[in-house]
C-alpha cells in the first residue's frame, strides 16, 4: 500500500505479519469493499476519507421515484438533493425485466436511469422500466419529460387513469460492478444493497419495475412499517 497514514506495500506487510502476500491482498480487497480503504490508480491503496451515511427511508406512504421527495429528505438532513436522469423509449426488455413486468421478452419499454446526489455527491442509482404499451401516445410516456416530469410513478399513472395500489420491494446484498462503482464514486466490489421494486395496478398488473443500488458505505436503509390500530 502507499505510505499515507503509515501504510505499507503488500509485500512489506506480508513480511511483517508473517503471512503470504496473497492473504494481504485479499484483506485489502475486503477492506476496500467495506469502504475502509480506497485504491488509487497508479498510486496505491489508502485509508478512505470517512463520509456521513445518509438515511434512506422506505415507506408504504412514499413514491420512491419522486424526485421532489428526495429533495425534501435531503433538505431535512441539511443537504441539497438533486438528481440526473436519462430516458429512452422503445427499449427491448431483457428477459428478467420482462418477467417482472409480465410482458413478452424484448417487448418495448421506456427505460429511465437515475443518479441521485446529495451536495453534488452521488448516493444511489436507479434504473426504471415501464411497458411502452401503457404510456405510449400519452403525455406520461417519459418519467422526466412533459407536463408530468418528476411526479413519480404513482402520480403519473393516475394522470392517465391507472391507479397504483401497491408496491413490492425485494432487497438483497451484493457487490458493486464496474459501472455502478464509477457512477457512485466507490470501489468496484464495494458492498451494496440491491432493491428490486415493482409497482402494481388495482388489477394486479405490473406497471413499473426498477433496480435501485444503494452503497452500504454511503447510505443506511430504514423501512417504516405501519401499525394497524
Query: Is the dihedral angle over the CA atoms 13, 15, 20, 22 positive or is it negative?
Result: positive
| Cβ–Cβ under 8 Å, residues 222 and 195 | no
pTM, to two decimals:
0.77
C-alpha cell at 17: 505479519
Out of 55-59, 82-86, 137-141, 206-210, the most confident range is 206-210
Distances in Å between the Cα of 140 and the Cα atoms of 16, 60, 66, 113, 137 are 63, 23, 14, 16, 8
Q: What is the pLDDT of residues 111-125, one digit of tens each?
A: 999 999 999 989 999
> Above 70 in pLDDT, residue 6?
no
Least confident of 38-52, 110-124, 139-153, 193-207: 38-52
Per-residue pLDDT averaged across 113-140, rounded? 94
d(CA 134, CA 93): 14
Tens-digit pLDDT profile for residues 17-45: 778 778 777 777 777 666 677 665 566 67
pLDDT digits (tens, 9 = 90+) for 67-83: 567 888 888 888 999 99
- Give the percent of the chain with pLDDT over 90: 52
Contact predicate 144/119, CB 8 Å: no
Average pLDDT, the chain: 85
Q: What is the pLDDT of residue 41?
A: 58
pLDDT at position 7: 55
Amino acid at each position: 500500500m502507499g505510505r499515507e497514514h503509515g501504510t505499507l506495500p503488500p509485500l512489506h506487510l506480508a513480511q511483517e505479519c508473517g503471512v503470504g502476500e496473497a492473504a494481504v491482498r485479499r484483506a485489502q480487497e475486503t477492506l476496500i469493499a467495506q469502504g475502509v480503504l480506497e485504491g488509487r490508480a497508479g498510486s496505491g491503496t489508502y485509508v478512505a476519507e470517512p463520509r456521513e451515511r445518509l438515511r434512506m427511508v422506505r415507506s408504504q406512504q412514499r413514491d420512491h421515484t419522486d424526485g421532489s421527495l428526495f429533495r425534501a429528505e435531503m433538505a431535512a438532513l441539511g443537504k441539497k438533493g438533486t438528481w440526473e436522469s436519462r430516458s429512452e423509449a422503445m427499449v427491448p426488455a431483457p428477459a428478467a425485466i420482462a418477467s417482472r413486468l409480465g410482458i413478452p421478452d424484448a417487448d418495448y419499454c421506456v427505460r429511465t436511469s437515475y443518479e441521485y446526489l446529495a451536495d453534488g455527491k452521488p448516493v444511489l442509482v436507479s434504473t426504471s422500466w415501464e411497458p411502452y404499451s401503457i404510456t405510449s401516445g400519452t403525455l406520461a410516456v417519459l418519467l422526466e419529460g412533459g407536463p408530468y416530469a418528476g411526479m413519480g410513478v404513482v402520480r403519473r399513472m393516475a394522470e392517465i387513469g391507472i391507479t397504483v395500489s401497491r408496491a413490492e420491494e425485494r432487497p438483497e446484498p451484493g457487490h458493486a460492478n464496474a459501472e455502478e462503482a464509477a457512477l457512485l464514486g466507490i470501489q468496484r466490489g464495494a458492498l451494496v444493497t440491491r432493491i428490486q421494486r415493482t409497482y402494481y395496478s388495482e388489477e394486479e398488473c405490473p406497471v413499473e419495475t426498477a433496480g435501485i443500488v444503494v452503497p452500504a458505505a454511503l447510505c443506511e436503509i430504514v423501512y417504516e412499517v405501519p401499525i394497524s390500530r
